[in-house]
Amino acid sequence: MKDTDQAPDNSGFSSSRRNILTGAAAVGLTACGGDTMTEAKEPVKNELEIANEAVVNNFCRDWSLRDIEALRPYLAEDLYYQIAPGRPIIESRDQFEKQMGAWLKNLESVRWEILRSHVIGQVVINERIDHFNAPEGAKMPSMRFHIVGDFLLEDGVIKVWKDWPIPGAKQIIG
């Protein structure tokens, strides 16, 4: 007997293997609650999440001011910051200011382009393209980085911040 042939049945009806499998699948779907292709819904953000996302978005926007003092209020005194995996860790707001202040001031322009942003509680994650444009003829190069920023906020300020390069994204220096 072939797979597609009907099997003899003493109950008065006939069934093929295909019909049996289709019926089993329908029973399985019903047992699982019906539709297994549910659409993910955008969660409603609570007040803390809205505030935390605003802090990070404003922080990213204010890099365009090229003023380290403008960034200071967004950062915890005991900030933990790593610009990229394997890079040195900055362990305070003061250390951040010392390392980034003069460099930031010497740029012609800075723009952080937020492509996506997600927040869950105290954690904000964004996908960005950071543009750092050096003045014409400067010794330092212009740079563009496509990254994921990972921010942990505590008491309304950024306590932990790590940036991660997006695998396969073109990072431009020069």
Say which CATH number the domain at 144 has.
3.10.450.50
- In this prediction, residue 29 carries a pLDDT of 46
Same domain, 72 and 130: yes
Q: Are residues 17 and 75 in the same domain?
A: no
Q: Which two tokens stand for residue 4?
A: 């597609």
- Are 145 and 91 part of one and the same domain? yes
Q: Is the pLDDT of residue 26 over 80?
A: no
Domain that holds residue 75: 47-173
The span from the CA of 27 to the CA of 171, in Å, is: 51
Rounded-to-integer distance, Cα 172 and Cα 148, Å: 16
Residue 12 has pLDDT above 80, yes or no: no
Helix (H, G, I), strand (E, B) or coil at 141: coil
Segment among 26-30, 100-104, 138-142, 155-159 with least mean pLDDT: 26-30
Are residues 106 and 167 part of one domain? yes
Total structural domains in the chain? 2
157 and 100 co-located in one domain: yes
Listed range (2-6, 122-126, 135-139) with the worst mean pLDDT: 2-6
- The stretch 83-90 carries a mean pLDDT of 94
When pLDDT is averaged across residues 51-76 and rounded to a whole number, the result is 98
For 63-86, what is the mean pLDDT? Answer: 97
Its pTM stands at 0.75
Tokens for 105, please give them. Answer: 């001031």
Indicate whether 59 and 130 sit together in one domain: yes
Identify the band that residue 112 occupies on the pLDDT scale cut at 50, 70 and 90.
very high
Residue 9 predicted with pLDDT over 80:
no
pLDDT at 20: 54
pLDDT average, residue stretch 83-105: 95
Q: Which residue has the higher pLDDT, 167 or 65?
A: 65
Q: Does position 36 have pLDDT exceeding 60, yes or no?
A: no
Residues 82 and 136 in one domain: yes
- Other Cβ atoms less than 10 A from the Cβ of 89: the count is 10
d(CA 64, CA 70): 10
The yes-or-no verdict on residue 44 having pLDDT over 50 is yes
Q: Identify whether residues 159 and 85 lie together within a single domain.
A: yes
More confident residue, 120 or 11: 120
d(CA 72, CA 92): 11
Is the sign of the CA dihedral 148, 139, 95, 109 positive or negative? negative
